[in-house]
């Protein structure tokens, strides 16, 4: 079996003695696995992982203490901020808002993957000046305010609109589905039959749904 695989699997096992974990941190593959998966990393081990250049794996670990995540979220290395943005909680309060203002658009893009975003931060990312950030939002956020969905469906950038349609195909509601043709029995666009949403237009095609024209 591959030695790297074996050491990585060992580094992820629970209840390893601290001296053994320390030895495994000297191996790059095992160190990355331990940094990303272990729940019991000590402060000393965390510092060693950062010093050895695997802070990006540490930033993706959901069990790392909040103060460490906050430190990584403000690290000068953008790779660490990418990982922290995707998984950090809002501790201390305001951390996610600071990441939403990060000057690197990739940090803001990775923030769209974070499951801890408030509706306010989702709305802020939907207004981000970089279209790539707005394009990432539909790929990773599902439960977002209707106003945000509407804004991205009508975004000035075609790529953003395409992403919204591709990842939110079932969310196009009458509010922004656009007008549909008049009913088959109505040769003119009267106020009763025009405009109709796609949903109501489909319903009128059903024999059970057809009713005599009001005029």
Q: What pLDDT is stored for residue 92 in this prediction?
A: 86
Cβ partners under 8 Å of residue 116, min gap 6: 88, 89, 90, 96
Helix (H, G, I), strand (E, B) or coil at 203: helix
Mean pLDDT of successive 10-residue stretches along the chain, which has 215 residues: 83 90 93 93 93 90 88 90 91 93 96 93 96 96 89 96 89 39 43 37 39 42
- 3-class secondary structure for 52-116? CCCHHHHHCCCCCCHHHHHHHHCCCCHHHHHHHHHHCCCCCCCHHHHHHCCCCHHHHHHHCCCCC
Q: What pLDDT is stored for residue 1 in this prediction?
A: 59
Q: What pLDDT is stored for residue 170 in this prediction?
A: 60
Q: What pLDDT is stored for residue 2 in this prediction?
A: 78
The residue assigned the tokens 């769209």 is 112
pTM > 0.85: no
């Amino acid at each position: 079996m591959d030695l790297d695989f074996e050491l990585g699997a060992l580094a992820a096992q629970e209840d390893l003695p601290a001296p053994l974990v320390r030895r495994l941190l000297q191996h790059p593959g095992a160190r990355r696995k331990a940094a990303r998966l272990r729940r019991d990393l000590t402060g000393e081990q965390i510092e060693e992982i950062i010093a050895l250049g695997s802070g990006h794996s540490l930033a993706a670990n959901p069990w790392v203490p909040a103060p460490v995540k906050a430190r990584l979220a403000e690290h000068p290395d953008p790779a660490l901020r990418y990982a922290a943005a995707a998984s950090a909680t809002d501790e201390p309060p305001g951390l996610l808002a600071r990441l939403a203002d990060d000057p690197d658009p990739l940090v803001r893009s990775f923030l769209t993957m974070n499951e801890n975003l408030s509706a306010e931060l989702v709305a802020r990312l939907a207004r981000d000046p970089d279209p790539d950030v707005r394009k990432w939002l539909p790929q990773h956020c599902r439960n977002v305010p209707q106003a945000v969905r509407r804004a991205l469906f009508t975004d000035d950038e075609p790529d953003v609109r395409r992403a919204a349609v591709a990842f939110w195909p079932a969310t196009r509601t009458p509010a922004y589905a656009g007008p549909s043709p008049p009913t088959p029995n109505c040769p003119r666009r009267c106020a009763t039959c025009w405009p109709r949403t796609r949903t109501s237009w489909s319903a009128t095609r059903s024999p059970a749904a057809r009713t005599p024209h009001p005029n």
